[in-house]
Amino acid sequence: MSEIQRPAPGSAPGSAPGPASGPRGSLGVLAALDRRWIYLAMALAVAIPMLAPVRLPIVISKEVEAFHREIEALAPGDQVLFSFDYEPDVMAELDPMTEAILDRLFAKGIQVIAMTNYAGGVGIGQARLEAAARRHGKTYGTDYVFLGYNPDWSGTMLRLGESIKATFPVDQFGRPTAEIPLLATCDAYRDIELLVSIAGSQLSEFWAAYAGARYGQRMVSGNTAIQAIFIYPFYQSGQIKGFLGGLKGAAEYETLIERPAFGVRGMGSQSAGHLLIVALVIAGNVGYFLMRRKGLLQGNRLRAVERKGRS
């Protein structure tokens, strides 16, 4: 609403004395609203449902059902390549699904070969794996392994198709991968049942291109909301068998595996935040159009005065 610029009365030569500059009344208040009030409104919209939780029904979408089917199709002893392709900036969106998936994999007795394509993913992956392993009494080296980070993600994705041990000669903790029991019978995509990419960037799409298209690796993904919107084409074409999108995706998956956690708990704040944004968009546009209408009317009156002056 601040973009309506009006000349001060009598400031321009030949201009008719117009109304006082700027809108008046409630429109004026809304037009001059300090953005910090908006910040406060957003903070309250997120905080209040957290402090006074409301349990909302979660409807499962088909892409999350497909994701769940892929995980449930795994048998105990199968090996899954789990890639923590995110950094701390999007932790809040991806940690809930990461924890839910790891819990499900460990509960089913699936062996997890974890890695990351981001340096910041090392700290995250290490912490999430250790926490999940503790919850399920899993042993490093036989139930799970953390290969760590490799620079050059595209080269890594391709190299894994030839040899995991050559791609990661040692794991994140310096232990030779040739000596890790879990990797004794697993050295390339052909030995891996499923690839799970949890990505805060386009990396899931590149996994589909390099691991999927070239080596035929079956995969599912968990993505931030911003990235999930781009996964739909890959899901529809069958390159990615199922995916979780954002916190809602995590909430749906937690509901499916009957493990309500941060995803489900966050839906109240998420809903309130979205309602606030929609209300702000509507309020901003209503104010804009009201201001424009007033401007048009005053403009017509101006034009009428100018015509009088010329005649």
Provide the phi-psi class of 109: left if phi over 0, else alpha when psi is between -120 and 50, else beta: left
> Least CB distance from residue 8 to other proteins, whole Å?
23
Closest to other proteins by CB, 232 vs 306, is: 232
> Least CB distance from residue 132 to other proteins, whole Å?
16
> Least CB distance from residue 42 to other proteins, whole Å?
4
> Least CB distance from residue 219 to other proteins, whole Å?
11
Closest to other proteins by CB, 104 vs 248, is: 248
> Least CB distance from residue 265 to other proteins, whole Å?
8
Closest to other proteins by CB, 10 vs 176, is: 176
Among 284, 246, 268, smallest CA distance to 91 is for 246
SS3 helix, strand, coil % of the chain, rounded to 5? 55, 10, 35
* CB within 8 Å of 30: residues ≥ 6 apart: 1, 283, 287
Among 90, 87, 136, smallest CA distance to 111 is for 136
Integer Cα distance of 90 and 11 in angstroms: 51
> ∠ CA(244), CA(247), CA(249), 5° rounding?
30
Closest to other proteins by CB, 214 vs 301, is: 214
Residue 170 is classified by DSSP as B
Determine contact, residues 87/120, Cβ cutoff 8 Å. Answer: yes
β strands within the chain, DSSP E? 79-85, 111-116, 144-149, 194-199, 219-223, 243-245
Find tokens 């890695």 and name the residue.
Answer: 115
Closest to other proteins by CB, 92 vs 297, is: 92
Report strand pairing: 144-149 vs 111-116.
parallel
Task: Read off the tokens for 5.
Answer: 């610029």
Find tokens 């460990």 and name the residue.
Answer: 106
Beta-bridged to residue 199, according to DSSP, are 85, 223
Integer Cα distance of 253 and 64 in angstroms: 6
Closest to other proteins by CB, 162 vs 306, is: 162
Closest to other proteins by CB, 19 vs 230, is: 230
> Least CB distance from residue 196 to other proteins, whole Å?
18
> Least CB distance from residue 300 to other proteins, whole Å?
20
Closest to other proteins by CB, 43 vs 305, is: 43
> Least CB distance from residue 184 to other proteins, whole Å?
18
* CB within 8 Å of 288: residues ≥ 6 apart: 1
